[in-house]
Amino acid sequence: MNFYTLLEAAITGNEISLKEAYTDQCLQYCTENRIESAEGFVPRLFEHPSYAGICEIVDPRALPSRKDFDTPAGLATLLHAIAHIEYSAIDLALDAVYRYPSMPLAYKIDWLEVAADEIRHFTMLHNLLTDLGYRYGDFPVHSGLFDAGVHTAGDILDRMAVVPRYYEASGLDVNPQIIKKLHNKRKDPHIARLIEMLEIIYDEEIVHVQKGDRWFRYLCEMRGFEVESRYMTVLESYALTGKHRPHINVEARKKAGFSCRELLHLGAKACQ
């Protein structure tokens, strides 16, 4: 299979081992500079997420509560929700390469590396989920990240603004709050393992958002846009502004490339 056929198979398939194998092969193609010409290539707009054959997709308001972590079922509900985010992020990272073939080789390598990280995150979370007696697909999920990918498919600048610089950056806000809630239960070995995983994911997600920031800035420069004002314009066009956003993680977001002006606009109480 050629590069883009491999990517399409990785995005549409729901076996994590195949996603991993195809992602590794695509990375090898990039490092060996063996990517075929994309002339005449037209990426598909996928109608359904690859997990549609595994998970029941529901409205976010219909998802089970994730407040009770004292039982295996309660912990599994939280773990499944986090694993679903990581699974969704795999396909989004692969789609970022598949959908925009004119982008530089360094861009392709960046997002294939992100996909490889997300595969590793999902796998370690799923291993813990199976230790609790559950599997991916045992709980309903929502398709919010897939929908964001569909909505931004037509413009790579919008994709970089909305997916890594909005949704993935939101994980930098939420992750420490989850760890904080779990902290007093860390004597439970399952919860201790989950906290370790969340700490790994947190550090690596900063790098992922940095990559989104890098390519968003690259695209803004190419098109003659001022970065901060364009970011807020894109968020407004997708109705992603004006929402209450507690716990803005100023330190992590600044590491990932955000300016204080952006963070204050997003709802940070202070930024220096």
Residue 119: pLDDT band with limits 50, 70, 90: very high
Residue 244: pLDDT band with limits 50, 70, 90: low
Which pLDDT belongs to residue 63? 85
Which pLDDT belongs to residue 67? 67
Burial class (CB in 10 A: 0-12, 13-18, 19+), 137: middle
Residue 34: pLDDT band with limits 50, 70, 90: confident
- pLDDT at residue 265 tops 70: yes
- pLDDT at residue 70 tops 80: no
How much is the mean pLDDT over the chain? 94
Q: Dihedrals φ, ψ of 267, to 5°?
A: 125, 5
Per-position b or e across 40-75, b if 16+ CB within 10 A of its CB: eeebeebeebbbeebbeeeeeeebeebeebeeeeeb
In the beta sheet, which residues pair with residue 57?
141
CA 253 to each of CA 149, 169, 249, 271: distance values in angstroms, whole numbers, following the listed order: 22, 7, 6, 11
Domain regions of the chain by residue span: 3-46+55-266
- pLDDT at residue 44 tops 90: yes
The residues, ordered by sequence, that sit 6+ positions from 212 with a Cβ below 8 Å of its Cβ are 160, 163, 164, 165, 168, 169
- pLDDT at residue 100 tops 70: yes
The pLDDT tens digits for 128-182 are 999 999 999 999 999 999 999 999 999 999 999 999 999 999 999 999 999 999 9
* CATH of 3-46+55-266 among 3.40.50, 1.20.1260, 1.10.510, 1.10.443: 1.20.1260
* Cα–Cα distance measured from residue 260 to residue 253, given in angstroms and rounded to the nearest whole number: 9
Amino acid at 262: E
